[in-house]
Amino acid sequence: MVAKKSIKYLVVLVLSLTSVLGFASVSDPVQGAEAGDPVDTAEEINSYIKHHLKDAHDFHLYTDNKTGKHYGFSLPVIVWTSKGLKTFMSSAFHHDDSGSVIVNKDDVKLVKIHSKIYELDKGANVVNFDETHHAKNAHAVLDFSITKSVFGMLVTGLLMILLFGLLARGYKKGNVIPKGFSRVLEPLVIYVRDEIARPNIGEKKYKKFMSFLLTVFFFIWILNMLGLTPFGFNVTGQIAVTACLAIFTVVIYMFSGTKDFWAHTLWMPGVPYVLRPVLALVELVGFVIIKPFSLLIRLFANITAGHFVVMSLIALMITLKASFGPVVSTGMSLILSLFIMVIEILVAFLQAFIFTMLSSLFIGMAVEEHDHAH
């Protein structure tokens, strides 16, 4: 009953955020999806995959190659330009990604090139590109748009609040044992608590960090799994997203570091005085740069590579058609992509687990009490 109501709210919220419509493409050289021209050459497939790996400003579901019509819905664009905050729906770009459609918003000329929004310099009316295909007379703007990734995160967040809120409500009603889907979630929560947080942070202090660890674990996992659906989210493959997650971890362990931790980091006891500043430097670099960097690159690279491999294997269907015929190439592509998909499902969990595990390990290092004398 409650769940149904919540789902209704979710749908209404999604609908209010977006406007569903199909929009005709003017020209789309990046995707190579002009009318009557399907994505069927190696270069087109490559650029299609690259395009998918990037964030998008609209939610693209399907393109009819015959008519060149894209199906999906546009998302709100919110940008901070030289003349302040500008908002409009992404449909204003007409699915253009090459900078040829200029959106004029209160004397601010905006274009979208490779999924990024640029503002044309004063006086310019057309984007000029240099030989490396960088816009010469436009600069990137701060983009707070509800992009596909942000949309995905919002969906994930709402899903989490819904699912775990339900689990929490179940307990509040006095049921000791959860019912229905909550019964699946409870062991996962216990798993994060007993297998990740407790052993790494320690029995005394783990409680304080549970909210962060649980949220991050399920957030990453659900986003990874969403990335495997045909909706084509690639949220955890966005370096900004993984960087943000890693920086949260750093901020948390830096601010919860004990006196012992700082003493050991900055003025390591038990080593010659000459070496201490050197060690402090090494430790600081390790904690501030290397550890978060390893966190963010691991997640980003795994998910991006997974998406790339799965899409490439699906594309085998087209690229191998010429040499093996349609049946063999389709069969091969199907078997291989199915195999990789199964691995990706494992990786989706594994990366969420590793991120949470390492975060709690680093937090554990920072809050550790050295009761033994050095």
Partner 1 sequence: MDQLLNDFSPGLFFMQAVILLILILLMRAFAWKPILEALQTREDGIQNALDAAEKAKLEMQNLNADNERLLKEARLERETMLKEARDIKSKMIDDAKLEAQSQADIMIEQAQAAIKGEKKAALAELKNQVAGLSLEIAEKVLRTELSNNDKQLQLVEKMLSEKSLN
Binding residues for partner 1, rule: CB under 8 A, are: 54-55, 79-80, 116, 142-147, 149-150, 153-154, 157, 160-161, 164-165, 167-168, 171-172, 176, 186, 189-190, 193, 207, 210-212, 214-216, 219, 238-241, 243-245, 247-248
Separation between Cα atoms, residue 72 and residue 51, nearest integer Å: 16
Q: Which is nearer to partner 1, 241 or 316 (CB)?
A: 241
Q: Which is nearer to partner 1, 73 or 206 (CB)?
A: 206
Break the chain down into helix, strand, coil percent, rounded to 5: 55, 15, 30
Residue 101 CB partners (closer than 8 Å, separation 6+): 26, 92, 93, 94, 111, 112
- Residue 313 CB, nearest distance to partner 1 (Å)? 23
- Residue 144 CB, nearest distance to partner 1 (Å)? 5
Q: Which is nearer to partner 1, 268 or 363 (CB)?
A: 363
Q: Which is nearer to partner 1, 144 or 324 (CB)?
A: 144
- Residue 176 CB, nearest distance to partner 1 (Å)? 5
Q: Which is nearer to partner 1, 16 or 211 (CB)?
A: 211
CA distances from 34 to 74, 100, 129, 178 (A): 19, 15, 22, 52
CA angle 5, 8, 13 (to 5 degrees): 130
- Residue 352 CB, nearest distance to partner 1 (Å)? 14
User: Are 217 and 356 contacting, i.e. CB atoms less than 8 angstroms apart?
Assistant: yes
Q: Which is nearer to partner 1, 151 or 287 (CB)?
A: 151
- Residue 154 CB, nearest distance to partner 1 (Å)? 7
- Residue 260 CB, nearest distance to partner 1 (Å)? 27
Tokens of 293: 């960097």
Q: Which is nearer to partner 1, 22 or 165 (CB)?
A: 165
Q: Which is nearer to partner 1, 63 or 249 (CB)?
A: 249
Q: Which is nearer to partner 1, 81 or 333 (CB)?
A: 81
Residue 237, CB-side half-sphere exposure with 13 Å CA sphere: 26
Separation between Cα atoms, residue 333 and residue 340, nearest integer Å: 10
Terminal C-alpha separation, the chain: 60
Separation between Cα atoms, residue 102 and residue 87, nearest integer Å: 15
- Residue 248 CB, nearest distance to partner 1 (Å)? 6
Question: Considering only CA atoms, which of 342, 362, 344 is closest in space to residue 294?
Answer: 362
Separation between Cα atoms, residue 37 and residue 31, nearest integer Å: 10
> What DSSP state is assigned to residue 343?
H
H or E element, residue 116: strand 116-120
What values do phi and psi take at 369, rounded to 5?
-100, 125
CA distances from 138 to 52, 73, 79, 81, 315 (A): 24, 27, 15, 12, 35
- Residue 254 CB, nearest distance to partner 1 (Å)? 16
- Residue 75 CB, nearest distance to partner 1 (Å)? 12
